Amino acid sequence: MGAILVLNAGSSSIKFALFDNALEQSLSGLAAGIGGASFLEVDGERRELPFIDHRSALAAVLKALEARGVAVKDLRAAAHRVVHGGRKLTAPVRINDEVRVEIAACSPLAPLHNPHNLAAIDTLAELAPDLPQYASFDTSFHATNPDVATRYAIPKMMETKGIRRYGFHGLSYASLVRRLPEISGEKLPSRLLAFHLGNGASLCAILNGQSVATTMGYSPLDGLTMGTRSGGIDANAVLRLVEENGLERTKAILNHESGLLGLSGGKSDMRNLMLDPSADSAFAIEHFCYWTLRHAGSLIAAMQGVDAIAFTGGIGENATAVRARICQGLEWLGARMNPDFNHRARPRLHADSSKVGLWVIPAEEERMIARDAQSLMEAA
């Protein structure tokens, strides 16, 4: 009964974590800067190493694990975060040839993510061909959204090509649904509004444990103001940007140069923005909070009310002032935050007089991925 290795591969990095049979994390790390100034970090210990591609980075990760007494042959399985599962991959799966083909078929829907997820899967299959591999999908939690929530008002022939709303951060929301009752000691609220706030940010309306609406759409670009992504923007404005700048330049503007970065004139990290006294930084923070609240109203309407609100993600868990601003903007619901609870970062944020539960739940996406793989192995 070996450990489960969880991998989250990006364009220039591979995050990894090791979980035992009790789903306790024993170590974690990062192989970063692939193709450039690269390094390997394991439990805070960092070494400069040359990674020309994902294969060399993953080989270094496996070597580092072996140096800590965890050989590949001792692993029980590897489990991957795959961003996009499309319409067919709506639950965790063991990876085989058919699943791999389907993940590849979803690459046009997530060109910045799925190809790198596949690179890790293929590389590990080469380096450790006998190791079972599993995949969990960021889109799958939102497969319960009704058609009216996922269909764009475009001709059906285009919708059948995959142009529809999918939603993301599903692993975070699935973990939150599991963890909230454990932390609160109460049953899951029927109408739960979840805020995943980080460099990428979204909201999710969770009705009786299932996603019924979310702010991200066809791609992770839509919805809230984010670290470097614009969030919602009129399609004709995008077309004008393409006319003036070309397609590739427009992609870079909207995905990498907008959001908090574009509004503030150079800062995408909420911690830096909150330390900066400039008017631009203050406006960027207010923009983030304003549009989070605008979208919150929409998702509350989708559930016909709300019983509890939960924050997760880097900003949701750590930015005390942002949580306070958002909760202040929801006082019309009867939400009342206890400022002392908020400043002490307690899981429970709401005052006794609050009509709505307010919670902070740590994001545990890697543990959720390990749990998915473990469940599939136990069911086999």
Q: Are 296 and 327 in contact (CB under 8 A)?
A: no
Inter-axis angle of helices 170-184 and 365-379, to 10 degrees? 90
Among 202, 325, 224, residue whose Cα is nearest residue 274: 325
Task: Determine how β-strand 93-94 pairs with β-strand 308-312.
Answer: unpaired
3-state secondary structure of 329: coil
Question: Could you give the CA distance from residue 351 to residue 326 in angstroms, rounded to a whole number?
Answer: 15
User: 334-337, long-range: CB within 8 Å, 24+ apart, which pairs?
Assistant: 335/309
Catalytic residue among 20, 97, 130, 138: 138
DSSP class of residue 44 equals T
DSSP 287: H
- What tokens were used for 313? 């993600």
Cβ neighbours of 310 (radius 10 Å): 27
Going by C-alpha positions, the residue among 238, 150, 142 that lies closest to residue 230 is 238
Q: With contact defined as beta carbons under 8 Å apart, do 164 and 216 qualify?
A: no
Asked about 138 being catalytic, the answer comes back as: yes
Where would I find the beta strands (DSSP E) of the chain?
4-9, 13-19, 25-32, 39-42, 45-48, 77-82, 93-94, 133-137, 191-196, 202-207, 210-214, 308-312, 357-360
Considering only the C-alpha atoms of the chain, give the largest distance between any 2 of them, rounded to a whole number of Å. 58
Active site residues: 138
